[in-house]
Amino acid sequence: MNDLIHYLLLAILQGISEILPISSSGHLALYQAIFNVNQGNEGTFSILLHAGSLLAFLVYFFPLLWRLFISFLKFIQGQRHASIQEDIALLRYWMIATLPAAFIGVFISDWIDAIFQNLVFVGVGFLFTSGLLLLVNFLASNTKKNTYSLRSSLGAGLAQMLGIFPGISRSGSTISGALLTGLSLDKAKELSFLMFLPLSAGSLLLSFDTFVRVETSTLWLMILATVVSTLVTWVTLHLVLNHLKVKHFPYFSLYLLLLALLTFTIAWLP
């Protein structure tokens, strides 16, 4: 199988697994290790694929982002209608939720490729996510609160710190963190995917210098894969996001448990 096919399959994998609570970064790391693809550039390539997902998120959430932007402009002009107050509260909680992972991301940016090459680490991440999803299924399936709070933003924000590491699902951990504070699933999903935007953009900026060290031929393949990642993420958002329920979490938990066992087996093979 040539590199082009591998890169396209990785892009498809990213687009699907970024939306589901199964860790896109962990899947990318495992695939690249099994097929010996992109050795030494695993983390860099993952960031580019996440940038593709970022573009899809920006398109998908553009109506909400535009509404928040307009509300912010009206707010600084002195308007204080209830709808504007709600949007300003969302902006405030969004910022609070983003800060913990942004802080940690600055410190681990130089280690990202080394982390991606450690399959034991990835397997532990899969195992952690499996347990978290199972826990949330029992503890947070009946949450009803439909308004954001400092508690829910901190819960999602602290959980996103864990989601930086491969094998730990960013969407799964942030949605779970918000659910465990009592937020409704719809609002938890909205906050989780909004939180992805600054995190992915920040990772891209922090890793910009690593792209110049990638061979030109490989970089073009990465860029093509990024475009495919954008398209697949956008399609998956439309097909999956509104249908994802807490009752589905045990199935993802079982899948991640089996994937963790596979990862450990590959990591420990001579």
Single pTM value for the model: 0.89
Side-chain-facing half-sphere of 44: CA atoms under 13 Å = 19
pLDDT at 207: 66
Angle, vertex CA 221, rays to CA 218 and CA 225, nearest 5: 140
Structure-token match 């990591």, residue found = 267
Q: Is the pLDDT of residue 42 over 70?
A: no
Q: Are 75 and 88 in contact (CB under 8 A)?
A: yes
pLDDT at 82: 87
The pLDDT mean for the chain works out to 87
How many domains, the chain? 1
**Between these two residues, 108 and 85, which has the higher pLDDT value?**
85
Highest mean pLDDT (candidates 129-138, 140-149, 159-168)? 129-138
pLDDT at 210: 66
Which CA distances in Å does 194 have to 9, 107, 143?
26, 22, 20
* Banded model confidence at residue 1, pLDDT cuts 50, 70, 90: low
* Banded model confidence at residue 224, pLDDT cuts 50, 70, 90: very high
**Domain limits at 238?**
3-217+225-268
Q: Is the pLDDT of residue 166 over 90?
A: no
pLDDT at 19: 93
* Banded model confidence at residue 106, pLDDT cuts 50, 70, 90: low
pLDDT at 163: 85
